[in-house]
Structure 1
Amino acid sequence: MMLTMLYEGKAKKVFATNNPQEVIVYFKDDATAFNGEKKDVFLDKGRVNLAFTRYFFELLHSHNIKTHIVSFIDDVSLKAQKVNIIPMEVVVRNKSAGSICKRLGFQKGMNFTPPLCEFYLKDDSLGDPILCREHIRYMDILEEKELSEIEQTALEVNTVLSEHMDSFGVTLVDFKLEFGKTAEGEIILADEISPDTCRFWVKGTMESLDKDVYREEKGDLISSYKRLADILGLKL
């Protein structure tokens, strides 16, 4: 049966199903960096990222954090609730790395206590600019109550993931989340959580186990992801 594609992004394709409230999300093998300026394809990347997404989302479910996941179809596809993705990326930072160092001159590895929560407009053509709460209000992206709800959920996700990764000797440096609204207006966590969307360092070092290996050409991307999976006991 031919599926109708609703959307194709840098790392995923979304297809319609017979249920208007559900979609199929297919994980591609594509890798991008710097808002799509750097592009490559890595065999098995989609399968590996879906395995991580399943691992982390099931962990969040065990802590009563809602996500869009309905079920997992195969190694590269999942079924999800259909949501309207909020055009905003939420970034939680426990340490300074990446764009914040370039933007504000922070030394890499500085601790943020409490964690820093940032918002970015989801728009590659504008370079995903940072948003303040007033921007979000004036652009009618979210109401203040909804933004506070998302911020609280993002920080809860950070607590769960940080503590979990720390128990395996891995530091969660920062990560990006996306949220969506269901047909009933409920806001839930969507997209993925994987080494594509997080920075992971070997504890006590700045050794990357994430997409920085690709961004900064520090080694083989898939080998680094599989190393993280081995640390977590995740079978790929």
Structure 2
Amino acid sequence: MARRKKIYEGKAKILYEGPEPGTLVQYFKDDGGAFDDEHREVVEGRGVLNNRLSEFFMTGLNGIGVPTHFIRRINMREQLIRAVEIIPLAVVVRNFAAGSMSDRLGIPEGTALPRPIVEFYFKDEELGDPLVTEEHIIAFGWASQQDLDDMVALALRVNDFLSGVMMGVGIRLVDFRIEVGRVWDGDFQRLIVADEISPDSCRLWDLRSGARYGKDADGSDPHKLSEAHTEVARRLGVLPTNVTHATKPTLIN
């Protein structure tokens, strides 16, 4: 697909004008990082894997009735998506204590939580994407109470799906982050899953060995990060089983 007008460029993706009104082309870069990852290494092939893995997860969610912005994959690095109005909040679902939750509350990493906990973070890089309460969100007009209720329900449905998929390939879904966008059908507004779902936005631990994939992988070592992303893709069937690294991935169509 020929390049179109650039709409936005972030750490890991570029958005271009889509071929039809209400659409965008999302391009996955090789650099970037997870929502609280300080490392921003360029890893060759990372964008290709994240494009395909996000397609895998978004297609699965669409298939069970969880609405997403994903329309179809265009090529190795691009996908066609619906244009949405992104709510300026990262929605994090935690199944086990880890990362900033363990630091804040003193809960040992790996402790199973009594139920999935949904947290909201205000998307502002300069502020470090701070944790915010529902009171903050409503007071500052970032979302309404109805939006928040819908976002929690959406996030928990995504959690059920991702947890089951990962458990089926021997991986524990510790936590993950999604973004949510508004779309309108006439005068009716609804919320859908947007941005991406990939190892960069998930904390993933091997059920047997405890090996860490996704955002918990060693981001200071590009080779290890590449291997971690590739292992997730291989287990999910996105890569052939004989691929050992993701320097130049061979994808299954």
> Smaller-chain TM-score range?
over 0.9
Query: In structure 2, do the counterparts of structure 1 residues 119 and 171 end up closer, same or farther at CA, with 3 Å as the change threshold?
Result: same
Q: Which residue of 1 aligns with 2:172?
A: 171
CA distance in 2 between partners of 1:233 and 1:69 (Å): 20
Percent identical: 36
Q: Aligned partners of 1:8 and 1:146: how far apart in 2?
A: 26
Counterpart residue number, 1:74? 75
Distance 2:21 2:35 in 1: 34
| 1:109-156 residue CA offsets vs partner (Å, 9 max, x unmatched) | 011121111000011111101111101100101110111011001001
Q: CA deviation at 1:214?
A: 3.0
Residue 23 (1) aligns with residue 33 (2): no
Paired residues for 1:1-236 under 5 Å: 1-32=2-33, 37-184=38-185, 185-215=189-219, 217=221, 220-235=224-239, 236=251
TM-score of the superposed pair, with normalisation by structure 2: 0.88
* Aligned-residue RMSD, C-alpha: 1.8
CA contact (8 A) 1:213 1:219 kept: no
- What displacement does 1:215 show? 3.8
Report if the CA contact (8 A) 1:177-1:191 is conserved.
Answer: yes
Using structure 1 for the length normalisation, give the TM-score: 0.94
Contact residue 182 and residue 191 of structure 2 kept, 8 A? yes
Aligned partners of 1:208, 1:77: CA distance in 2, in Å?
27
In the alignment, structure 1 segments of 5+ residues that lack a partner are none
Q: Distance in 1 between matches of 2:154 and 2:62?
A: 12
Q: How many residues align?
A: 236
For residues 90 and 34 of structure 2, the distance between their equivalents in structure 1, rounded to whole angstroms, comes to 16
In the alignment, structure 2 segments of 5+ residues that lack a partner are: 240-250
**Runs of 4+ with >6 A deviation:** none
CA distance in 2, matches of 1:194, 1:143: 28
Cα displacement string for residues 19-64 of structure 1 (whole angstroms, at most 9, x for unaligned residues)? 2311100000003367575322111110000111011111111211
